[in-house]
C-alpha cells in the first residue's frame, strides 16, 4: 500500500530539482537542501523513481511541477492526466504545485514543447477556465509559470505580464516567477525585464526558478536559448537580486536539466541563492531607505554576460556584476523584436 505523507510547507529557501543521476546519492547522503522539486509526469505511475521519492519525501519538503497539462488548450484539460496529477498530489502532499502558461496539446496531438499563447481576452478566458478546473480538482492554489519566448504574436493585445496579472485576479492562482525565462524573453523580444517583473502582483509570487541558458548567434542576431544546461549566469543573478529587493525572499529553485552536473555543483548554486537572499534581507533591514535603489558599488567589476564567465565562473564572481538586463537587451544582444503573424 502506498504511503500517504503529511503536508509539509516549502520554506523560503533554495531547493534543487531532483534528477535521476542524483537520486541514489541524495538517499545515501541526505545533504542539506531547502526542498526538492519533481516533474509530476515522471511520478504518475509505479516505478523505482517513485519508490525513491517516498524515501526522500521523509526528509525534504516537495514541490510538484507539471509540464504536460497544456493550460492554453481551447479544448480543455485532459481529464485522465488531471486525475493522475491529483493522485500524485494526494500521495506526496507537496507544499507547492505549479504549471506553465503554455499549450502543448492540439487536436489530440501531444507536442514535446511548451508553446506560447497569443495574449488576448479570448486566450485569457480559456486559460482562466482551465486554471479554475485545475484548482478545483486539486483543491489548492496552483502557481503558474511565465515562459521563455523566442517569438511573439503580432496581434496580442496585452503583455505576458499583464496576462498573468489578470489571470491572478480572475482565478486567485499564484505565480511562479522564472527569472531566467524573463531574462531570456527580454533579450530575445527586446523588452525591459525589470518592467515585466514590476507588472506582476508581488503578493501572488510564491515560487522562483533560476537556471542557465545558452547563447546562440542566428543570422547576425544573438538568441538566448532556455536550455537549463549551465550555472546561473551573472545577468540572471543580478535580476534575481532585483526581485529579492522588490518582493523579498521566496522558495527558489535551481533548475538544471541538460548536461546535469555533480550534485555538489547544484547544491552550491542553491547555497549561493540562499546567501544572496540573506544578504539582501539584511541590507533591507539595515538600510530600508535605500533598499530598492540600484547597488553601484561594483560597477568597475561589471562583466559582460556573453563572456565565458557567464557559464564557467563561480557564483561569487558572478554576484559582483551589476549588469542591467534591460540595457543589455536593447544594446548588446537583440537588434530587433521577432513577431509571428
- The answer to whether residue 276 is domain-embedded is yes
Q: What pLDDT sits at residue 133?
A: 98
Is 60 exceeded by the pLDDT of residue 11? yes
Count CB neighbours of 133 within 10 A: 16
Cβ(197)–Cβ(135) under 8 Å?
no
- Helix-, strand-, coil-residue percentages of the chain, each rounded to 5: 45, 15, 40
Is 60 exceeded by the pLDDT of residue 307? no
> Average pLDDT of the chain?
86
**DSSP, res 166:** H
Cβ(65)–Cβ(40) under 8 Å?
yes
Q: 208 φ, ψ to 5°?
A: -130, 140
Q: What is the grid cell recorded at 335?
A: 537588434
Share of the chain above pLDDT 90, in %: 73
Mean pLDDT along residues 180-205:
97
CATH of the domain at 180: 3.20.20.150
Is 70 exceeded by the pLDDT of residue 41? yes
Is 50 exceeded by the pLDDT of residue 310? no
Domain span holding position 268? 14-286
How confident is residue 294, by pLDDT bands cut at 50, 70 and 90?
Answer: low
How confident is residue 288, by pLDDT bands cut at 50, 70 and 90?
Answer: low
H-helix or E-strand containing 138?
A: helix 121-138
Q: What pLDDT sits at residue 284?
A: 86
Q: 313 φ, ψ to 5°?
A: -75, 155
- The answer to whether residue 317 is domain-embedded is no
- The answer to whether residue 331 is domain-embedded is no
- The answer to whether residue 150 is domain-embedded is yes
- The answer to whether residue 70 is domain-embedded is yes
- The answer to whether residue 21 is domain-embedded is yes
- The answer to whether residue 33 is domain-embedded is yes
**DSSP, res 331:** I
Q: In which residue are the cell numbers 485569457 written?
A: 124
Cβ(253)–Cβ(63) under 8 Å?
yes
Measuring CA to CA, which residue among 340, 334, 115 is closest to residue 217? 334
pLDDT digit string (tens) for 239-276? 999 999 999 999 999 999 999 999 999 999 999 999 99
Share of the chain above pLDDT 70, in %: 84
Number of domains forming the structure of the chain: 1
Give the integer Cα–Cα distance in Å for 296 and 301.
10
How confident is residue 1, by pLDDT bands cut at 50, 70 and 90?
Answer: low
Q: What pTM, to 2 d.p., does this model score?
A: 0.84
Q: What pLDDT sits at residue 317?
A: 41
pLDDT digit string (tens) for 312-333? 344 444 444 333 333 333 333 3
Q: What pLDDT sits at residue 326?
A: 36
Q: 230 φ, ψ to 5°?
A: -160, 175
How confident is residue 109, by pLDDT bands cut at 50, 70 and 90?
Answer: confident
Instruction: List, in order, residues 6 or more apart from 329 with CB less than 8 Å away.
Output: 186, 187, 190, 191, 192, 193
- Compute the half-sphere exposure of residue 171: CA atoms within 13 Å on the CB side of its CA: 28
- The answer to whether residue 179 is domain-embedded is yes
Mean pLDDT along residues 200-222:
94
Quick one: how many helices (H) and strands (E) in the chain? 12, 14
Amino acid at each position: 500500500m502506498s504511503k500517504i505523507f503529511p503536508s509539509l510547507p516549502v520554506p523560503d529557501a533554495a531547493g534543487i530539482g531532483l534528477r535521476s543521476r542524483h537520486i541514489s546519492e541524495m538517499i545515501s547522503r541526505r545533504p542539506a537542501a531547502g526542498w526538492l522539486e519533481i516533474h509530476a509526469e515522471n511520478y504518475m505511475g509505479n516505478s523505482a523513481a517513485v519508490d525513491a521519492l517516498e524515501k526522500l519525501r521523509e526528509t525534504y519538503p516537495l514541490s510538484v511541477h507539471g509540464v504536460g497539462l497544456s493550460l492554453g488548450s481551447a479544448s480543455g484539460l485532459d481529464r485522465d492526466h488531471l486525475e493522475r496529477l491529483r493522485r500524485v498530489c494526494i500521495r506526496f502532499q507537496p507544499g507547492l504545485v505549479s504549471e506553465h502558461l503554455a499549450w502543448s496539446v492540439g487536436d489530440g496531438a501531444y507536442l514535446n514543447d511548451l508553446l506560447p499563447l497569443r495574449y488576448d481576452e479570448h486566450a485569457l478566458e480559456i486559460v482562466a477556465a482551465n486554471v479554475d478546473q485545475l484548482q478545483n480538482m486539486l483543491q489548492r492554489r496552483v502557481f503558474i509559470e511565465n515562459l521563455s519566448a523566442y517569438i511573439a504574436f503580432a496581434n496580442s493585445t496585452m503583455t505576458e505580464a499583464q496576462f498573468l496579472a489578470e489571470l491572478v485576479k480572475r482565478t486567485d492562482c499564484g505565480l511562479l516567477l522564472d527569472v531566467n525565462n524573463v531574462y531570456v524573453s527580454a533579450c530575445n523580444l527586446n523588452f525591459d525585464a525589470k518592467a515585466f517583473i514590476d507588472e506582476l502582483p508581488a503578493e501572488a509570487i510564491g515560487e522562483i526558478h533560476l537556471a542557465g541558458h545558452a547563447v546562440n548567434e542566428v543570422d547576425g542576431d544573438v538568441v538566448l536559448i532556455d536550455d537549463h544546461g549551465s550555472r546561473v549566469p551573472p545577468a540572471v543573478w543580478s535580476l534575481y537580486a532585483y526581485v529579492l529587493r522588490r518582493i523579498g525572499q521566496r522558495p527558489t529553485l535551481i533548475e538544471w536539466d541538460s548536461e546535469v552536473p555533480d550534485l555538489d555543483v547544484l547544491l552550491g548554486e542553491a547555497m549561493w541563492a540562499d546567501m544572496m537572499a540573506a544578504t539582501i534581507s539584511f541590507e533591507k533591514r539595515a538600510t530600508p531607505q535605500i533598499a530598492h535603489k540600484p547597488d553601484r558599488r561594483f560597477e568597475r567589476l561589471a562583466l559582460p554576460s556573453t563572456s565565458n564567465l557567464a557559464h564557467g565562473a563561480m557564483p561569487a564572481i558572478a554576484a559582483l556584476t551589476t549588469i542591467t538586463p534591460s540595457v543589455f537587451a536593447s544594446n548588446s544582444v537583440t537588434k530587433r523584436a521577432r513577431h509571428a503573424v
